[in-house]
A and B are shown apart, each in its own frame.
Chain A
Amino acid sequence: MADNNTFDAIVVGSGISGGWAAKELTERGLNVVMLERGYDIKHGKDYEASNKPVWEYPHRGGRTQEMIADYPRLKRDYPLNERNLHYWASDKDNPYAETKRFDWFRGYHVGGRSLMWGRQSYRWCEEDFLANAKDGIAIDWPIRYKDLEEWYTYVEKFAGIQGSYEKLPQLPDSHFLPAMELNVVEKDVAAKIKAHYNNKRTLIIGRTAHITGPLGHSPQRTNCQYRDMCWNGCPFGAYFSTQSSTLPAAMATGKLTLGINSIVKEIIYDKETKKAKGVRVIDAETMQTKEYFSKIVFLCASALNSAWVLMNSATDIWPDGLGSSSGELGHNVMDHHFRVGASGEVEGYDDKYYFGHRPTGFYIPRFRNFGGDKRDYLRGFGYQGGASRNGWGREVAELSIGAELKDALSEPGGWRIGSTAFGETLPYHDNKITLDKTMKDKWGLPVLNFDVEFKENEKKMRVDMKADMKEMLEIAGVKNVREYDNDNAPGMGIHEMGVARMGRDPKTSVLNANNQVWDCKNVFVTDGACMTSASCVNPSLTYMALTARAAAFAVDELKKMNV
């Protein structure tokens, strides 16, 4: 039995990766404390807005001038809104410095961004793990697809991923629950694309972490009800979050302690043993410092914050922090670049509609620089989009005002289809975060300074990201197709990766093939920080698999007295 500050393992962070670490480590017999810097959100009970209709919001879900003033970073994109504002971290309490613009949208509460994530869930493919070595970019991954394959299956069976079996080399199938349905227009466009490109391009249902069938191990979760209210927290537990899925499992072991308001400011490093002894925490409410001790530490604080903790640790030995001996800690910041694509109008189907508010759309897996295709840039992109009938917000040019307009807008308009690409970003050493020399947060702690930009490879890719969608829509008979490129700042994808990368050599990487810090083997980093390249698919499922794999390894090593 653990006393109040000594445990077998400490997990820093309670988001997707932290929740998985807590579940796996407790189920494998360890006494664990999971430290979360923010407040608690209890499943169901604390999802205040999960059944709240739009008319109960004074601004109907939008943003006020006061909110804009209070959130100078969050205002840059859609997260600043009235519906789930309390799920987004305060910019005032948690400022950061920008040598170059970086949009950092954070969730500081139990569950982290697992409550607000897009839920898109895709496996990486063999090619993704080989890409750096093939292209001579950065460093090689120390693992291959086959190292992760069983762990993908393992986490998918527990988390619940809906999708369709497609047997695509660039997008391996998961262990799926029944797939959500493409609508009638999407199915037609899919068939036309498939025929024209001779199966080289496919439009499939977006794979997501939603329950569409029973999960025997999680009876507390219910099938998706098609309300599309996900990001307020789902009272049905229909989508995977820490609260709906991993936290109940970890709690059921009786071996998990949850510490809220616990800002881990550093790892306590023991020079003699060359191991971490625990972590030093500031209580976010009382400002008191507290120490926790453990045999192993799992850093799952979100990519950039995990690097931040390392940067603040063992600075008497390594001035740039624990794990900095390679010179790569804080470098190679990656995100996906997107907000570019095309959309257009679909003629006909006036006698067709859809029922229910589906929380996913379609996905078009990567086809560029794959399977013999060769472009003037490296890597590729996939598309997320959807077809729908226009709603009441549409322009009705032929009607002015009056009953006719009201009646027209009370009925659905014509069909549209559109999408945005999500492109792979390369790991560049000079895309980096550092501790800012002057700025401090609400607790007097140093903050990050961002120096990150997209470069030529991404810019070249965007030309195809736009043009390919236009071409596919036109081939499918879509009318008035318009391309767009809304540009984007790094960070907007909310897929931060790469700042403590895995590798084969301690001279060029921060972590080894089992997510252990080379310089401190009982510290594991399993969130986005560990990624050696970015792929073009959404990363969360891979964090789940890497975390479960590292946790199993860590417990084995503990048993063997190796850590």
Chain B
Amino acid sequence: MTLETTLVRGISLIYGLYLLLPIALLLVGSVGGNWTNTLLPTGITGQWYLDLWLDTSFRKAFVSSLVVAMAACAINTVLALPLAYALYHGARRGGSLAARIVSATPVAVPAITLAFGYMIVFNTDLAPWLGSMPLLIAAHAILTLPYLTNTLLTDLRHLDLGRLEQAAATLGASGWQQFTGIVLPSLRQSLISGLVMVAAISVGEFGVSNLLTSFQNRTYPVVLLQAFYGATGFACAATVILLVLASASALLSSSLVKQRA
């Protein structure tokens, strides 16, 4: 083993520990009985999970989060498919600027900017919708739209779908038949994996949700923050639930992508 590989492995190990240690601590904390002023909690208990289950505000927040995520998925499906399709064909005709903007948006525009914009616009008498569920859903949909669009766009390019459409056209398929018979089925897997990603981002999203929700429809991460001001074990258990939810989505998403490749 050369020095180089040793170094790479060492750094990977440290980085992995750095990532995993908090998660491990959360897991330990969520089943720990008493955790004050000690390195590790003492005693083992399932109490925190039971408390969580019985806590109405958490159950409500859990439902809110799922509603928001599902709604964002539904809206994105309707928007991203035609958007990605139009961008793909637009880019081939030379107008690739729009496609580049869509791909860069999530990186270039911090989500918090969107939230502040919403706060200004929707806090007026003209549109007094700040704190409403539809507005929260809209924010999540807009926030996650570029991710889904990018996933679809990548697949469109990767499959060289323009060529497949041409082939379908010569075989007698009209534009609509090409879209429904060739484009949609070919994109099925990337659509599903993209939607799982959208759901994962939406469920874990904190910044925008925290600024835009009212007390009535707080999402899970927002309620979670409150928990940390109280009992530590309870908060750990609540975080573990979020973690399981998000990582299950991410795993599902990446395994779907893998299947494709």
The answer on A and B forming one complex is no
